[in-house]
Amino acid sequence: MNGISLEQRDQLNQYLTSQLALMPELVVEVAGNGVAALAWSRWTLANHTIGVLVGPGRTGLVALVTARRLLAWGARPSVHLAVPREVLGRLNQGEMDRFETLGGRVFEPNAPLPAVALWIDGLFGTGFHEPLADELKELIDAVNYDRQPTLAIDLPSGLDPTTGKASLPAIRAEVTAALGLPLLGVLKPFAKQLVGEIALIDLGLPASVWRR
């Protein structure tokens, strides 16, 4: 399986915006729908609670779109923020507002975690930086200890996207949803115990775009 570096990912995003006029919101919408479809096909989620971990970056935005789609299909996603909502970027705040307007529940950091059928990890993605705050360490530990399946978006939170090395603690995923192509760190053999199975999310881009 081929992988993609962070530099190549950045170049791809710039190309999509400047040459194809594909705004980030559209790409995120496609990605979130794909992650939701993967989760829906893999686990029994109708009328079940799903814990969606959301950070301030683009991975968190994909997680919010995923939550909105699963809500529309009959699941009961609850969003758990890694940072206070006022720290979220404009796009993340807008998507969170849509989710709440449709009846979704959003919990501030340090709120008690519910019993869930599935966790969806959208905490850090490629924006991970050490050291982790104590409350984020406790959140990751709690999700791992819960032993319910976890679906990581892009890469498990705490995993370096280039080297595949992990912080302690890091999310242990049963499945990692790679957006288009997996990041190089996800493909490292020693990362497999955290990455789990790699599932490719189709972003609707032709092969010629990925070969650039």
Q: Using one digit for the tens of pLDDT, what is the confidence trace for 150-200?
A: 999 999 999 999 999 988 899 999 999 999 999 999 999 999 999 999 999
The gap from C-alpha 25 to its chain's centroid, in whole angstroms, comes to 15
The gap from C-alpha 73 to its chain's centroid, in whole angstroms, comes to 19
- Tokens in use for 75? 């699941």
Q: Which residues contact 149 (CB under 8 A, 6 or more apart)?
A: 43, 118, 119, 174, 175
pTM: 0.95
> How much is the CA Rg of the chain, to the nearest whole Å?
16
Q: Using one digit for the tens of pLDDT, what is the confidence trace for 72-105?
A: 999 999 999 999 988 888 999 999 999 999 999 9
Asked if pLDDT for residue 212 goes beyond 70, the answer is no
3-state secondary structure of 64: helix
